[in-house]
């Protein structure tokens, strides 16, 4: 795994630790699912766009809102998942785990891809 993805996962672990002190997750797998979606969103931003990306996490009532902002105005494009290790599974996993997904343009170009997951 590359350094930005590892750094995003580490920052997310720290955030979730603080969130758990405020409100425990409802499901045992919540932490793992959130870490997986963060890793996929950050990896997709690095792999499919040029320039920096940013991660924003927010604890809502019973969900965690994950937003990754990048420099490309192009929305995510699902690919047919490959069984040969060529990828294509990330967007499928994000859609499967998230309760809500939104893609919104950001001022000056680029977009934020946001996913809400149960907490």
Residue 81 belongs to domain spanning: 3-118
112: left (phi over 0), alpha (psi -120 to 50) or beta: beta
- Number of compact structural domains in the chain: 1
User: Domain with 76 in it: what CATH number?
Assistant: 3.30.565.10
Give the model's confidence band at 88: pLDDT under 50 very low, under 70 low, under 90 confident, else very high.
Answer: confident
Q: Which of 29, 31, 54, 47 is nearest to 89 (CA)?
A: 47
The number of residues in the chain equals: 119
pTM of the predicted structure, to 2 decimals: 0.92
Neighbours of 45 (CB within 10 A): 27
39-51 confidence digits (pLDDT tens): 999 999 999 899 8
pLDDT of amino acid 1 = 53
E strand or H helix that includes residue 49: none
Tokens of 43: 């990896």
Q: With a cut of 70, say whether residue 86 has pLDDT above it.
A: no
């Amino acid at each position: 795994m590359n350094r930005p993805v590892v750094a995003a996962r580490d920052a997310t672990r720290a955030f979730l630790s603080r969130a758990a002190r405020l409100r425990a997750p409802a499901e045992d797998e919540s932490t793992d699912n959130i870490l997986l979606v963060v890793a996929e969103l950050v990896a997709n931003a690095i792999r499919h766009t040029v320039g920096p990306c940013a991660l924003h996490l927010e604890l809502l009532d019973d969900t965690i809102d994950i937003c990754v902002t990048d420099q490309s105005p192009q929305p995510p494009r699902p690919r047919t998942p490959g069984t040969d290790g060529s990828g294509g599974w990330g967007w499928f996993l994000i859609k499967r785990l998230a309760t809500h997904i939104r893609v919104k343009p950001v001022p000056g170009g680029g977009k934020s891809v946001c996913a809400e997951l149960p907490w």
